[in-house]
């Protein structure tokens, strides 16, 4: 960055073509993967990438408040857990219908987000990190105490969700495309939100909340709105996760899981939205490779995170932008 | 609940609170002075406990083992500072959270590889192994009294250092405005190093002291870390006094909640559902307290002065 660069130029987002090209390329590649497995790529990949796309939805939702809103939430896994338990409890009670489960999950996640967000958003910065962490733990302990639904051991599901009685989640390739479709829809929604007036206020408040307030916008309302939308989106990923693993447990909402979600966002590039998708896939791929190597893979994975933070800035999206920048001169 | 049981539970709550204070004090000191959010503080507590297991086992003496464990914790703290933390002082909180999160993964796994996943324990030292007779034949373990005493002693020492000494004056000044202190000719890097090493030792001390009464196992630091966060959020971030008050509140509320919630709910619920609800409510109780405190005072009960 040279001395003549003005702040407004530095803050300029990527060119529109790049902004659309990268996510389209990613989603396009993802759409072709089942073809590759049909041609001989190990089918283990299909399961892994489905799981990665489900986490990408959660990471994307986190990027909405973390990257766009500048609010580091450390309890985001709670929403995955609520979504998963929502599906799990309904299925255990004999209610597999998607059209029932989805609204229930969205409402419960929305209420949880509204209540915890209202309290958390009274604070900023580090206090916000710690409070969201504490609320995440609260959800974790609540799930542990659900002795009627597995408690500490978790809950095994004997059935998957259905749509109007049809078992749409049973087919592995079908499920892959459901996850991909949901991810694409969530990405589109997030993009639309960020481009809207709502998103612009959210972004502006990250830079200077006082100035935005003076302009006449209620920053707290916008932030809370983003928090609720983000929580609901993460709840959907929890619903899909329960259907993929046929199992839910309190570990879904452990604070380590929240940390992993943050790392996905940072790995891909904070605030770029598509970076969250790249980050989620990259992280799960690395975890998969490492855990295949050794049982003690976390002893390798931990230092990798430290090295990544120390030596890169802006994640994978940032690296790509840097490469583009140096090529442009 | 009888009076004698209530007294015992109050003492348990006090002792738990003191333990939390030792962890939270180091955490909030590092944050207050360096504006550094150190998630690895919990695993440093865990390391203290494991080092105590090793050194008490090697030397056969609790006191000698404790001293060696503290020295080792201090050295480890300095090594972390040199290798990782000093490169993060200038970075934003997100980077600090992530890097220290990576350290947690590494250290939890490393502890599992070195000491195994099974819980370990440290025998209660001989000279503190008995019980103290309180009124009317209520017995309370001597070691727990010793822990309360040691915690209060460390708290007093900390208060003295921060409020009454030159180093403490620089610490408080550094917390309000580090560049200004640096401009006045104080080696701020060295100050940070000392604070960090001291914070690590406090966490290690808490872990080593807890080792005889808790099971020493991988991940034990994570639970304590979250509780310490609740403590400093309730007390006011960056404030030692706040950490003390917050720790006592959290310790007492958690302990009393766990012991009495069941009885309380049974007054108007069936025993089975009272047990289930009680278990859920009592683990969430301190988080509810935290939410309530923040709702009324977003800055915490006793926020540090001079921070904006």
Q: Check residue A46 and give its pLDDT.
A: 87
Q: Check residue A280 and give its pLDDT.
A: 93
Q: Check residue A104 and give its pLDDT.
A: 94
Distance CA A297, CA A263 (A): 17
What is the least distance, in Å, from the CA of B143 to any CA of chain A? 30
Spans in chain B with pLDDT lower than 50? 308
Chain B hits for A72, CB-CB cut-off 8 Å, are 93-94, 97
Chain A hits for B237, CB-CB cut-off 8 Å, are 126-127, 130
Q: Check residue B239 and give its pLDDT.
A: 83
Query: Tens digits of per-residue pLDDT, A281-297?
Result: 999 999 999 988 888 88
What is the least distance, in Å, from the CA of A320 to any CA of chain B? 19
Chain B from 177 to 236: CB within 8 A of any A CB: 222, 226, 229-230, 232-233
Query: Tens digits of per-residue pLDDT, A93-128?
Result: 887 888 888 999 999 999 999 999 998 898 877 888
Q: B31 at the A interface (CB within 8 A)?
A: yes
Q: A77 at the B interface (CB within 8 A)?
A: no
- The dihedrals phi and psi of B142, each to the nearest 5 degrees, come to -60, -40
Count how many Cα atoms sit within 13 Å of the Cα of residue B278 in the half-sphere of its side chain: 21
Q: B108 at the A interface (CB within 8 A)?
A: yes
Chain A from 259 to 288: CB within 8 A of any B CB: 259, 262-263, 266, 270
Tokens of B203: 């966490």
* Over residues A216-239, mean pLDDT: 92
What is the least distance, in Å, from the CA of B134 to any CA of chain A? 35
Number of Cβ within 10 Å of residue A289's Cβ equals 11
Minimum Cα–Cα distance from B294: chain A residue: A119
* Cross-chain Cβ contact B287/A138 below 8 Å: yes
* Cross-chain Cβ contact B104/A302 below 8 Å: yes
Q: Check residue A328 and give its pLDDT.
A: 42
Only one residue has tokens 């201090």, namely B74
Q: B37 at the A interface (CB within 8 A)?
A: yes
Tokens of A212: 């935005």
Number of Cβ within 10 Å of residue B289's Cβ equals 18
The helix or strand, by DSSP H or E, that contains position B44, with its residue range, turns out to be helix B41-59
Distance CA A4, CA B293 (A): 48
Query: Tens digits of per-residue pLDDT, B137-170?
Result: 778 888 999 999 999 998 899 888 888 888 888 8
Q: A85 at the B interface (CB within 8 A)?
A: no
Of B115, B198, B190, B105, the residue nearest B154 (C-alpha): B198
Q: Region of A325 please: left (phi>0), alpha (psi -120 to 50) or beta.
A: alpha
Tokens of A190: 């997030």
Distance CA B253, CA B60 (A): 36
Distance CA B232, CA B308 (A): 16
Distance CA B304, CA B306 (A): 7
Chain B hits for A133, CB-CB cut-off 8 Å, are 226, 229
* Cross-chain Cβ contact B294/A305 below 8 Å: no
Q: Check residue A208 and give its pLDDT.
A: 84
Q: By three-state DSSP, how is residue B268 classified?
A: coil
Number of Cβ within 10 Å of residue A152's Cβ equals 12
Q: B297 at the A interface (CB within 8 A)?
A: no
Using only C-alpha atoms, chain B has a radius of gyration, in whole angstroms, of: 20
Number of Cβ within 10 Å of residue B285's Cβ equals 19
Distance CA A89, CA A82 (A): 10
Chain A to chain B Cβ contacts (< 8 Å): 128
Nearest by CB: B237 against A126, A133, A299: A126
* Cross-chain Cβ contact A123/B113 below 8 Å: no
Query: Tens digits of per-residue pLDDT, B180-189?
Result: 888 888 888 8
Query: Percentage of chain A surpassing pLDDT 70?
Result: 89
Q: Region of A161 please: left (phi>0), alpha (psi -120 to 50) or beta.
A: beta
DSSP string, A134-196: HHHHHHHHHHHT-GGGTGGG-EE-SS--BBTTB-TTSSHHHHHHHHHHHHHHHHHHHHHHHHS
Contact B218, B108 (CB under 8 A): yes
Nearest by CB: A302 against B103, B226, B283: B103
pLDDT above 50: residue A151: yes
Vertex B64 angle, CA B62 and B67, to 5°: 105
Nearest by CB: A123 against B106, B283, B298: B298
Of residues B266 and A241, which shows the higher confidence score? A241
**Mean pLDDT: which of A77-81, A167-171, B122-126, B158-162 is highest?**
A77-81
Q: By three-state DSSP, how is residue B201 classified?
A: helix
* Over residues A126-153, mean pLDDT: 86
pLDDT above 50: residue A157: yes
pTM, rounded to two decimals: 0.87
Tokens of B166: 């030159």
What is the least distance, in Å, from the CA of B284 to any CA of chain A? 5
């Amino acid at each position: 960055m040279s001395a003549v660069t003005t702040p407004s130029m530095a803050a300029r987002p990527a060119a529109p073509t790049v902004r659309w090209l990268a996510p389209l390329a990613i989603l396009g590649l993802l759409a072709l993967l089942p073809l590759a497995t049909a041609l001989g790529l190990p089918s283990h990949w299909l399961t892994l990438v489905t799981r990665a796309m489900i986490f990408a939805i959660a990471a994307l939702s986190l990027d909405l408040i973390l990257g766009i809103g500048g609010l580091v939430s450390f309890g985001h896994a709670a929403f995955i857990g609520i979504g998963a338990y929502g599906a799990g409890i309904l299925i255990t009670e004999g209610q597999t219908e998607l059209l029932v489960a989805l609204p229930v999950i969205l409402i419960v996640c929305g209420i949880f987000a509204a209540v915890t967000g209202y309290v958390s958003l009274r604070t900023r910065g580090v206090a916000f990190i710690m409070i969201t962490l504490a609320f995440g733990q609260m959800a974790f302990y609540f799930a542990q105490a659900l002795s009627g639904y597995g408690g500490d051991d978790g809950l095994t599901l004997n059935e998957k969700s259905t749509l109007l009685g049809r078992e749409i989640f049973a087919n592995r390739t079908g499920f892959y495309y459901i996850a991909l479709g949901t991810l694409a829809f969530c990405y589109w929604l997030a993009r639309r939100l960020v481009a809207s007036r709502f998103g612009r206020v959210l972004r502006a408040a990250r830079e200077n909340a006082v100035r935005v307030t003076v302009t006449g916008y209620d920053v707290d309302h916008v932030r809370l709105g983003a928090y609720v939308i983000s929580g609901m989106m993460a709840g959907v990923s929890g619903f899909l996760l329960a259907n993929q693993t046929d199992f839910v447990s309190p570990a879904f909402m452990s604070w380590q899981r929240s940390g992993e979600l943050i790392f996905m966002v940072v790995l891909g590039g904070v605030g770029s939205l598509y970076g969250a998708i790249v980050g989620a896939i990259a992280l799960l791929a690395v975890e998969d490779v490492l855990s295949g190597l050794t049982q003690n893979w976390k002893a390798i994975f931990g230092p990798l995170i430290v090295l990544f933070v120390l030596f890169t800035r802006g994640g994978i999206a940032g690296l790509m932008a840097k490469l583009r920048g140096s090529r442009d001169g | 609940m009888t009076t004698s049981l209530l007294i015992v539970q109050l003492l348990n709550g006090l002792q738990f609170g003191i333990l939390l204070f030792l962890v939270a004090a180091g955490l909030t000191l590092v944050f207050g002075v360096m504006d550094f959010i150190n998630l690895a503080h919990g695993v440093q507590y865990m390391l203290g406990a494991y080092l105590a297991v090793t050194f008490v086992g090697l030397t056969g003496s609790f006191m000698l083992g404790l001293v060696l464990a503290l020295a080792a914790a201090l050295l480890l703290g300095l090594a972390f500072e040199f290798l990782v933390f000093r490169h993060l002082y200038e970075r934003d909180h997100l980077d600090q959270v992530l890097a220290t999160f990576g350290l947690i993964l590494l250290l939890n796994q490393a502890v599992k590889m070195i000491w195994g996943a099974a819980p370990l324990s440290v025998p209660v030292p001989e000279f503190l192994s008995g019980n103290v007779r309180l009124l009317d034949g209520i017995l309370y373990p001597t070691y727990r009294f010793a822990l309360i005493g040691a915690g209060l002693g460390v708290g007093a020492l900390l208060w003295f250092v921060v409020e009454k000494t030159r180093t403490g004056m620089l610490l408080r000044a550094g917390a309000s405005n580090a560049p200004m202190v640096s401009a006045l000719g104080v080696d701020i890097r060295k100050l940070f190093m000392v604070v960090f090493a001291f914070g690590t030792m406090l966490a290690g001390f808490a872990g080593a002291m807890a080792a005889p009464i808790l099971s020493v196992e991988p991940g034990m630091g994570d639970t304590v870390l979250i509780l310490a966060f609740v403590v400093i959020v309730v007390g006011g971030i960056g404030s030692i006094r706040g950490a003390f008050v917050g720790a006592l509140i959290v310790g007492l509320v958690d302990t009393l909640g766990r012991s009495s919630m069941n009885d309380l709910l049974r007054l108007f619920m069936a025993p089975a559902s009272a047990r289930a609800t009680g278990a859920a409510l009592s683990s969430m109780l301190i988080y509810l307290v935290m939410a309530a405190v923040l709702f009324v005072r977003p800055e915490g009960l006793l926020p540090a002065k001079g921070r904006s």
